[in-house]
Structure 1
Amino acid sequence: MATRQISDVQSTDFEHALRALHAARLRPEVRLTEVPAPTRLAPHAVAMTADIVDPSDDEDIATGRFVLLHDPDEPEPWGSAWRVVTFSRAELEAEVAGDPMLGAVGWSWLTDALEAHDITPVNLAGTVTHVVSESFADLEAREPDVEMEIRASWSPTDSSVGHHLEAWVDMLGTVGGLPPLPSGVVALPGRRR
């Protein structure tokens, strides 16, 4: 009987987390879609993809994946029963191709977004990868293609995780080149497909 009650509490915690994610207030340029979650990383998981759409031409300017894992046994590396795992990708302007600080700037976009949402992440970890593709010979007139990928994970301390999704989507918008919302302005709920 006691095991059932603990299980019910854990299930209720995850249901609360799902409600918090669905209640997140996102920019109108965001298309958020729930997708199959990984099944081997934790007893409970939910995954979403997000595309930031350029309002002028409906083209994707950034894309990513947000996964929330819940393991009531609190795996030691997590430091919590919760873990957020994210991936973000966007093409950048060719002018930044040679910037030696590009990786640090990409990481600061994430940490700034977390801070703006009053999130102090537990066990924050990640990488920033930037790839520059240069063209030669008959293609040398092309500008370099620059792509940035930010992979990050951190541990929320409880099931109130909606603001974690909001922070990550804000960072994804920054990577995609959207201007920040003015201070005090709250995004209206956008289309969710």
Structure 2
Amino acid sequence: MSDSEETPPRDFCTALESLKGQSFRPEFHITQIPAPTRIAPWAVALQAEINDTADLDPDHYLGDTKFVVLYDPAGQSAWDGNFRVIVHARAPIESEMGDDPLLGEVAWSWLPESLQKQGASFHNLSGTVTRIFNETFGGLYINSSRIELELRASWSPATPYLTEHLHAWADFAASLAGLPPFVENISSLPRKAEKI
């Protein structure tokens, strides 16, 4: 949020309230982080590590992601509005997938699909998908090598209610990290009694 002593504008307060009290799948470990201060007068930022252990065991790291909300009461022409959502997501991928020429296009498609699935109204969506090949050396051998997929994107929400945008971000990041769809409170139907 802005360091200014001003009272936050009503629309920005509405956006903040719409982000509070949300629950996510257990692999998401979310914290609030300092928001950028130069792009807009008001901002809030969240980050999440995607890890299937409660203590964030590095061996179970699946990815990380950020969700930033910018608000400028005067609006910005590039945004075509007063709000802008920025997301960054990164996840290691298998080397066979890293060679797929359609990987970037497929990964990008998960973002608008997640936004539409959650019912988030938006416009001016843009971004990039990057493949990164990392090798870590130590001593006389390669300690590790991996390919990471990284996506940076931004869009303008149509309203200050951002709950659907937040959940679309989480859904998209889960897809990028290779997690299956998450369904809460799954219960199995009772079997029919067999006739004798």
TM-score w.r.t. length of structure 1: 0.81
For 1:72-151, list aligned pairs within 5 A: 72-133=73-134, 145-151=146-152
- Would you identify which runs of 4 or more consecutive aligned residues in structure 1 move more than 6 Å? none
1:44 aligns with 2:45: no
Mark the runs of 5 or more structure 1 residues left unpaired by the alignment. Answer: 1-6, 188-193
Cα shift at 1:155: 0.4
| Mapped pair 1:33 → 2:34 | no
Give yes or no for contact 1:51–1:63 (8 Å, CA) kept in 2: yes
Offset, 1:72: 1.4
Q: CA distance change for structure 1 residues 156 and 77 in 2, over 3 Å: closer, same or farther?
A: same
2:63 touches 2:90 (CA, 8 Å); kept in 1?
yes
Q: Are residues 1:155 and 2:153 paired?
A: no
Answer 1 or 2: which has greater strand percent.
2
Q: Any idea what SS the aligned residue of 2:65 has? A: strand
Q: Partners in 2 of 1:36 and 1:57 — Cα distance?
A: 23
C-alpha distance in structure 1 between counterparts of 2:152 and 2:115, whole Å:
14
Q: Distance in 1 between matches of 2:87 and 2:80?
A: 17
Query: SS at 1:114's partner residue?
Result: helix
Paired residue type of 1:13: D
What displacement does 1:56 show?
A: 8.7
Task: Measure, in 2, the Cα distance between the counterparts of 1:81 and 1:147.
Answer: 33
Write the deviation string for residues 100-159 of structure 1: whole angstroms up to 9, x where unpaired: 001001101112111111124210000000123479xx758x996210000000001111
Contact 2:44-2:70 within 8 A present in 1 as well: yes
The one-letter code of the counterpart of 1:14 is F
In the comparison of the two structures, how many residue pairs are matched?
Answer: 176
Residue pair 1:91, 1:147 contacting (<8 A) in 2 also: yes
* TM-score, normalised by the number of residues in structure 2: 0.80
Higher Cα radius of gyration? 2
5+ residue gaps, structure 2: 1-5, 187-196
- Aligned twin of 1:18: 16
